């Protein structure tokens, strides 16, 4: 699915009118086009399924070390942002941590960050984002032992509505051994 920037421009123009402003005034003339370009960038992930993202970032290496069953790869504090699908409000200051137990292949570390970034570039829920990342990482690494932890602020809570600007939301997606093994959970929460 390609993002229809012309339709976005038309709708943004309509929103400006609905807000009671003049879309032809100097400061707003190019706003519909700028918003359409911004949406094309920040919602890029909507162009791809989880399977397509997995193929896009499927750069793995055979393990060149003797892995034991408790080896864990953890990448912490990957900064991403997304947009809440309920209000189209910014989910910001999001930090994603991803852990997996290698199963014969390891993925390039930058690919983990790229997967997180692309999955976030959709209208999202923080809970779904964790599941999407876990699913993609599993497809790329072949491992079912995945953990994704996300901490984020939501402008639908901080800038509008209840306006609790210090609130943060924490989610965990635990799959495979991470679901049941407390020792693994402790290792990733340090």
Report, as residue numbers or ranges, the catalytic residues: 84-87, 126, 154, 156
Pairing of strands 105-107, 90-100: unpaired
Cα dihedral across residues 4, 7, 13, 14: positive or negative:
negative
Are the beta carbons of 156 and 139 closer than 8 angstroms? Answer: no
Residue 80, classed as helix, strand or coil, is: strand
- What token pair was written down for 122? 């959709």
Pairing of strands 105-107, 73-84: unpaired
How far is 11 from 33, CA to CA, in rounded Å?
Answer: 11
Residue 151 pairs in a beta bridge with 95, 170
Question: What distance, in Å, lies between the first and last C-alpha atoms of the chain?
Answer: 40
**Residues contacting residue 66 through CB under 8 Å, at least 6 positions apart:** none
């Amino acid at each position: 699915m390609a993002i229809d920037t012309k339709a976005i421009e038309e709708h943004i123009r309509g929103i400006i009118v609905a807000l009671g402003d003049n879309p032809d005034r100097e400061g707003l003339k190019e706003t519909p086009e700028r918003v359409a370009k911004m949406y094309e960038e920040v919602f890029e992930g909507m162009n791809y399924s989880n399977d397509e993202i997995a193929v896009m970032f499927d750069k793995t290496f055979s393990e060149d070390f003797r892995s034991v069953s408790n080896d864990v790869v953890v990448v912490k504090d990957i900064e991403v942002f997304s947009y809440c699908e309920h209000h189209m409000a910014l989910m910001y200051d999001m930090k994603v941590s991803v852990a997996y137990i290698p199963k014969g292949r390891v993925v390039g570390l930058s690919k983990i960050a790229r997967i997180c970034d692309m999955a976030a570039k959709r209208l999202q829920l923080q809970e779904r984002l964790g599941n999407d990342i876990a699913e993609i990482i599993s497809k790329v690494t072949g491992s079912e032992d995945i953990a994704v932890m996300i901490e984020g602020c939501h402008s639908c809570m901080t800038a509008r509505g209840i306006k609790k600007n210090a609130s943060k939301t924490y989610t965990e997606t635990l799959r495979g051994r991470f679901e049941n093994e407390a020792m693994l959970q402790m290792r990733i929460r340090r």
